[in-house]
Amino acid sequence: MNEFYNKDIISIKDFSKDQLEKIFTSTDKVMKLNPSERREICKGKILGYLFYEPSTRTRLSFDSAMASIGGTSLGISDISSSSTQKGESLSDTVRMMSIYSDVLILRHPLDGSSRFASEVSEKPVINAGSGTEEHPSQAIQDLFTIKKEKKRIDGLKIGIVGDLKYGRTVYSLLSGLGNFDVDVNLISPESLRIRSDSTYEIKKKLDFTETPDIEDCLDDLDVLYVTRIQKERFPDEEEYLKVKGSYVVGLDMIKRMKEDSIILHPLPRIDEISSDVDKTKNARYFEQAEYGKHVRAALLGMILNENGL
Ligand code: NCD
């Protein structure tokens, strides 16, 4: 039996390097299929989604991935129009959705929400963002993008810049990178440094340095992963205003980077990468979004087929 069959995807920490490599291989395989072969993978299967926070890419890429492998999706993307407004618990909503679907995708503002959902759901649950904690499918997509665009992950110098305190994609990415031999530079304002309580495990597997000054490492980086300041997670707007616009990647910065370096971003972008960077060969964030669709198709295919892809 395929080891991913019926598996929940809650944390990137639940995956070994070998398992990540298997997902990459399956993603490559899915990308090579023609549309009619692809539609056989999850023919007749249903993806159910519950989004308690806004989303464009994650929900639509799961939707689009599922359609491309022959399945359908249903769910709630605006919780204010659901029975949650009448007071229904997360547990009951998840249980209901797991009756209507074969696999469930959950985004929720609370840490631990996806783990909890997987305990009450009859069907496998994929965490599509839980509080400030994790976003594992984004990290798998990020690692896959690095592998495709740089042809390797081991040996790279990777800078992660922006909101390292509240950005959940950062924690999942760091845990994923812990499986590889990479040098990581974390670049953030002092008030948005990585949370030390959440990096205890990561530190055992990964070496990283921290700096507020992007110039300290810019010319040495192979990958610059840019993140959005997570305005909605600040307890105090004043604090947000102090760090808003701290880093803006523009053409001037690109010129100081290695010629073959790449710029990634989980998106949405606000003002942290200027739009004139989009046309440079270093910008790979739209490719990254496209890979996300294929990674999710592979994940769904492996979770829903006993014999794998
Ligand atoms: C991210 C998220 O929701 O954590 N978005 C995404 O899924 N690509 C990043 C963000 O919102 O900044």
CA distances from 16 to 140, 151, 245 (A): 12, 20, 36
Catalytic residue among 29, 57, 193, 258: 57
Give residue 267 CA to ligand 1 midpoint distance, Å: 6
Residue 56 confidence (pLDDT): 87
> Is residue 72 annotated as part of the catalytic site, yes or no?
no
pLDDT in tens, 59-106: 999 999 999 999 999 999 887 777 787 888 999 999 999 999 999 999
52's CB contacts (< 8 A; 6+ apart) are 79, 84, 106, 107, 108, 109, 113
Residue 275 confidence (pLDDT): 98
Residue whose CA lies nearest to ligand 1 atom number 1: 266
**12-133+290-304 matches 136-288 in fold:** yes
Question: Could you tell me the residue ranges of all domains in the chain?
Answer: 12-133+290-304, 136-288
Alpha carbon 209 to its chain's center: 22
Q: What is this structure's pTM?
A: 0.97
Instruction: Just give the CATH number of 136-288.
Output: 3.40.50.1370
> Is residue 228 annotated as part of the catalytic site, yes or no?
no
Q: Which atom of ligand 1 is nearest to the CA of 128?
A: 7
Instruction: Just give the CATH number of 12-133+290-304.
Output: 3.40.50.1370
Strand order of the sheet with strand 72-76? 72-76, 46-51, 103-108, 125-130
Catalytic residue among 7, 107, 108, 265: 107
Give residue 167 CA to ligand 1 midpoint distance, Å: 8
The length of the chain is 309
Give residue 235 CA to ligand 1 midpoint distance, Å: 18
Q: What angle do CA 187, 288, 194 make, to 5 degrees?
A: 25
Residue 195 confidence (pLDDT): 96
**Can you tell me which residue has the tokens 């074969």?**
102
Q: Which atom of ligand 1 is nearest to the CA of 53?
A: 3
Residues of the chain with pLDDT under 50: none
Residue 1 confidence (pLDDT): 85
> Is residue 107 annotated as part of the catalytic site, yes or no?
yes
Q: In a mutational test of the pocket of ligand 1, which residue from 12, 138, 228 has the highest number of ligand atoms less than 8 Å from its CB? A: 138
Residue 82 confidence (pLDDT): 78
In whole angstroms, what is the distance from residue 203 CA to residue 206 CA? 5
Question: By C-alpha distance, which of 86, 101, 126 is closest to 47?
Answer: 101
